């Protein structure tokens, strides 16, 4: 099941919408480039087990 979530770039703080796949697990970590400044962000994706809402935290990717 795919759903969308919003993350804020660790570099420019602009919001970006991304598609996440819950079948990859309730907690995920991967790198995605900011849609505004193109810098790589380490995304930490968590799904709420009750309502499957998405929470995404970011750090600069190394």
* Partners of 43 in the β-ladder: 30, 58
Residues 6-58: pLDDT tens digits? 999 999 999 999 999 988 999 999 999 999 999 999 999 999 888 878 999 99
Compute φ and ψ for 22, nearest 5 degrees: -65, -25
**Among the listed residues 5, 3, 4, 7, the one whose alpha carbon sits nearest the alpha carbon of residue 36:** 7
- Write out the residue range of the structural domain in which residue 52 sits: 2-60
**Whole-prediction pTM value?**
0.88
Structurally, the chain folds into a number of domains equal to 1
């Amino acid at each position: 099941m795919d759903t969308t979530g919003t993350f804020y770039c660790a570099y420019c703080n602009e919001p970006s919408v991304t598609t996440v796949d819950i079948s990859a697990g309730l907690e995920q970590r991967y790198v995605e480039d900011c849609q505004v400044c193109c810098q790589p962000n380490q995304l930490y994706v968590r799904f709420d087990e009750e309502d499957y809402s998405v929470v995404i935290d970011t750090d600069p990717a190394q």
